[in-house]
Structure 1
Amino acid sequence: MLRVENLAKSFEGEVRRRRAKTGNGTDRVFAVNGISFDVREGEMFTLLGPSGCGKTTTLRSIAGLEHPDAGVIEVDGRVLFEGRDGRKPRSVPANERGLGMVFQSYAIWPHMSVFANVAFPLQVKRRGARPSKTKIADQVHRVLNTMELDDFASRPATKLSGGQQQRLALARALVVEPSLLLLDEPLSNLDAKLRESLRYELKRLQRDLGITSVYVTHDQTEALVLSTTVAVMKHGNIIQLGRPREIYENPNSRFVAEFIGTTNMLTATVEAKAGDRYTVLTVDGPLALDSAVDIAPNRDVVVSIRPEAVEIDVDSRASEVPNEWKGTVVNRAFLGEAVEHVIRVGEHEIRARGNPSVSIQPGTDVFVRMDPAKLTLVPVD
């Protein structure tokens, strides 16, 4: 559906990283550094990463709001941009790409009603492609009904709540029936509770309508909830590409492990390997874990342990299970759906998150257990 190949975009300026000399000696900042990915029809594809990683520049390049240095952008077999060395780039103007876009600020026209905001993209089409007034009204009401905004059609757009404005921006993008919907952090301006409820609403709409979407966010939870596929970006490059569960449970680098959710990171050295079962040595003792990653003995590694994979108990079961260490609870926090304990084990502090019915007083000696199947072996960057 969407194909992005070797996309690159640079800007002139001073920078400490990603700097390259052009032929005229000018320093250029590579916001996007030759990335490639495919988005299948009906998929919610998310570009995830910290500020400045290149995710919004990628989205704006697809939309036609940025002019890339090189690469190919193709939607449904139609080339929207192609730039190769030694050739003059060809680029379809943004207003002719037929894509829908929802901006971070929503960009709602404050002087227009809800109906007029949604109708505007249809009304400004070229004369030959512009629908009749009757058809425009039908399309607008159909989309407003889908967004549960039909009762507010005559209301000024500024009189809507934050969640309703977000749905209005989405309706305006959908009314043109785009082949591809682009969303640039559309929930970031909402309060936490509303943002959480709208994540599921957006996921439902995307699934029910079958819209192919590219979503940009720096919110890890948002990416995990919404996405079919996630591309984690850093310094203009895609570091890992995969399903949300795959990236969460099997990060391919320390950066991904630490960026996606909360994790305990223990440095270690590979002692032995038998099939997929590894034994690694940390400063506080050995750990057994299962991993399909191929790393030779004596190599330095990092073990990623999610807090929910750590079990704590006041009684030992060392004779029955592997990976049991003794420690002391130094802190705890009630999170509503869980209780998080911080346990001092030798030189490490390990976070454990579990059932809220289990709450252990700080200062209590406990035993920490870690299931080998739930530990992740990460090569040292």
Structure 2
Amino acid sequence: MLRIDNLVKTFDGERRRRHARGSKTDKTEPARVFAVSDISFNVENGELFTLLGPSGCGKTTTLRSIAGLERPDSGTIEVGDRVLFSGGAGRKPVNVPANERGLGMVFQSYAIWPHMSVFDNVAFPLQVKSRNERLGKKQIAERVMRVLDTMELAELADRQATKLSGGQQQRLALARALVIEPPLLLLDEPLSNLDAKLRESLRYELKRLQRDLGITSVYVTHDQTEALVLSTSIAVMKSGDVMQLGRPREIYENPNCRFVAEFIGTSNFIAGNVVSKEGDRYTVNTADGLLVLDAAAAIPIGGDVIVSIRPEAVEVSTGSRAGEVPNEWTGTVTTRAFLGESVDHVVSVGRHEIRARGNPAVSIKPGTEVYLRLDPGKLALVPVD
């Protein structure tokens, strides 16, 4: 459906001084900053593909390049069998204007027209199509009401757009993007302006709509939870590069670098080196003892690694099961925090402080000596950068 090949986009950065050869004066020239640095990925039909990363990582620039709102320096962008952009050495120049790409886009700020009713907001994209593509009034009305019904806004069709709640305005913006029946839907942090409870409910509503309608979508967010809930596939970005691309569970459980492990959820990190390997079973020597874990990695014996341990992979108890299970360490609870659906314990183990997350019924007071058990199947090996 969507194919991105070797996409590059740069912007002018701070100006730097350069001494021109044969001249007694300095010249200044802008330094080029890579917003998107030679990235490639494919989005299959019906997928919700998420670009995830911190501010300034290039995710919105990538989305705007797909939409035609930014002109890349080089690379190709294809939707279906149609080339929307092509540029750079050896490529035939193509740059389809944004208004001719036929893509739907939902912005962070909703961008609804305040002087129009709900119905007119959704009908407008159909009414301004070229004469040979424009539908009749009856067909427009039928399509608009069908989309409004899907968004549960049909009863509000005559209401002024500004008199809707934040969640209703976001659904209106989505309805306006869907009414043109685009081959690809682009969403730029569409839930970030909503309060936490509404944002959570709309995540599941958006996931249901995307699944039921089979809409191929590219979604931009910096919210890790949002990405894990919504996505079919995720590309984690940093400084214009895609650091890891995969399914949500794969990225969460098997991060390929420390940045991904830190950015997706919460992790404990313990440095060590590989002392033995049998198939996928590794033994890692750390400052506080050996750790045994299973990892589909290619790290040689003697290689330096970081063991990434999610808090929910740590079991805390006041009783020992030494000899029955691997990876049992002893430590002392330094602090605890009740989170409602869980309790976090921070346990001091030698040189490390390890966070454990578990059942809220288990709450151990600070100062208590405890035993930590680390499930080998839930630990991840991260190469040292």
1:21 — aligned with what? none
Question: What is the one-letter code of the residue matched to 1:374?
Answer: K
Structure 1 gap segments, 5+ residues each: 17-23
Q: Are the aligned partners of 1:15 and 1:29 in contact in 2 as well (CA < 8 Å)? A: no
1:358 and 2:362 are equivalent in the alignment: yes
Deviation at 1:88, TM superposition (A): 6.2
Greater Cα offset, 269-278 or 2-11: 269-278
Q: Are the aligned partners of 1:60 and 1:66 in contact in 2 as well (CA < 8 Å)? A: yes
Measured against aligned partners, the alpha-carbon deviations of 1:310-331 in whole angstroms (never above 9, x if no partner) come to: 0011011112111011101111
**What's the secondary structure of 2:14's corresponding residue?**
coil
1:4 — aligned with what? 4
1:104 and 2:108 are equivalent in the alignment: yes
CA distance in 2, matches of 1:208, 1:110: 30
Which of 300, 312, 315 lines up with 1:311 in the alignment?
Answer: 315
Please give the residue correspondences for 1:187-206 in structure 2 after superposition, counting only pairs within 5 Å.
187-206=191-210
Deviation at 1:140, TM superposition (A): 0.6
Greater Cα offset, 330-339 or 247-256: 330-339
CA distance in 1, matches of 2:290, 2:80: 52
1:30 — aligned with what? 34
**What's the secondary structure of 2:211's corresponding residue?**
helix
Deviation at 1:192, TM superposition (A): 0.5
Q: Are the aligned partners of 2:15 and 2:30 in contact in 1 as well (CA < 8 Å)? A: no
Deviation at 1:14, TM superposition (A): 2.3
**What's the secondary structure of 2:362's corresponding residue?**
coil
1:276 and 2:283 are equivalent in the alignment: no
Deviation at 1:274, TM superposition (A): 1.7
Which of 125, 128, 153 lines up with 1:124 in the alignment?
Answer: 128
Question: What is the one-letter code of the residue matched to 1:3?
Answer: R
Deviation at 1:15, TM superposition (A): 8.8
**What's the secondary structure of 1:279's corresponding residue?**
strand
Deviation at 1:252, TM superposition (A): 0.3
**What's the secondary structure of 1:13's corresponding residue?**
strand
Deviation at 1:165, TM superposition (A): 0.6
2:250 — aligned with what? 246
Question: What is the one-letter code of the residue matched to 1:197?
Answer: S
Q: Are the aligned partners of 2:14 and 2:30 in contact in 1 as well (CA < 8 Å)? A: no
Change (3 A) 1:370 1:15: farther
CA distance in 2, matches of 1:58, 1:369: 42
Question: What is the one-letter code of the residue matched to 1:191?
Answer: D
Deviation at 1:273, TM superposition (A): 1.3
Greater Cα offset, 135-144 or 269-278: 269-278
Which of 78, 81, 94 lines up with 1:90 in the alignment?
Answer: 94
CA distance in 2, matches of 1:174, 1:225: 21
CA distance in 2, matches of 1:267, 1:108: 51
Question: What is the one-letter code of the residue matched to 2:323?
Answer: S
Question: What is the one-letter code of the residue matched to 2:281?
Answer: R
Greater Cα offset, 263-272 or 94-103: 263-272
Measured against aligned partners, the alpha-carbon deviations of 1:194-234 in whole angstroms (never above 9, x if no partner) come to: 00000000000000000000000000000000000000011
Deviation at 1:12, TM superposition (A): 1.1
Please give the residue correspondences for 1:313-332 in structure 2 after superposition, counting only pairs within 5 Å.
313-332=317-336
TM-score by length of 2: 0.95
2:305 — aligned with what? 301
Deviation at 1:84, TM superposition (A): 2.4
Ranges of 4+ aligned residues in structure 1 off by more than 4 Å:
none
Greater Cα offset, 6-15 or 207-216: 6-15
Aligned residues: 374
Greater Cα offset, 343-352 or 291-300: 291-300
Question: What is the one-letter code of the residue matched to 1:162?
Answer: G
1:236 and 2:228 are equivalent in the alignment: no
Measured against aligned partners, the alpha-carbon deviations of 1:42-92 in whole angstroms (never above 9, x if no partner) come to: 000000011100000000000000001101100111000111216662111
Greater Cα offset, 325-334 or 7-16: 7-16
Please give the residue correspondences for 1:255-294 in structure 2 after superposition, counting only pairs within 5 Å.
255-294=259-298
CA distance in 2, matches of 1:90, 1:378: 41
Sequence identity percentage: 75
**What's the secondary structure of 2:234's corresponding residue?**
strand
TM-score by length of 1: 0.96
CA distance in 2, matches of 1:109, 1:141: 18
Question: What is the one-letter code of the residue matched to 1:114?
Answer: V
**What's the secondary structure of 2:210's corresponding residue?**
helix
Deviation at 1:271, TM superposition (A): 1.4
CA distance in 2, matches of 1:337, 1:87: 54
CA distance in 1, matches of 2:111, 2:186: 14
Which of 208, 225, 237 lines up with 1:221 in the alignment?
Answer: 225
**What's the secondary structure of 2:33's corresponding residue?**
strand
CA distance in 2, matches of 1:341, 1:15: 49
1:71 and 2:78 are equivalent in the alignment: no
- Cα root mean square deviation, aligned: 1.3
Deviation at 1:25, TM superposition (A): 6.1
Measured against aligned partners, the alpha-carbon deviations of 1:274-298 in whole angstroms (never above 9, x if no partner) come to: 2211111111111111111111122
**What's the secondary structure of 1:14's corresponding residue?**
strand
Q: Are the aligned partners of 2:282 and 2:295 in contact in 1 as well (CA < 8 Å)? A: yes
Q: Are the aligned partners of 1:7 and 1:70 in contact in 2 as well (CA < 8 Å)? A: yes
Structure 2 gap segments, 5+ residues each: 17-27
Q: Are the aligned partners of 2:280 and 2:296 in contact in 1 as well (CA < 8 Å)? A: yes
Greater Cα offset, 63-72 or 274-283: 274-283
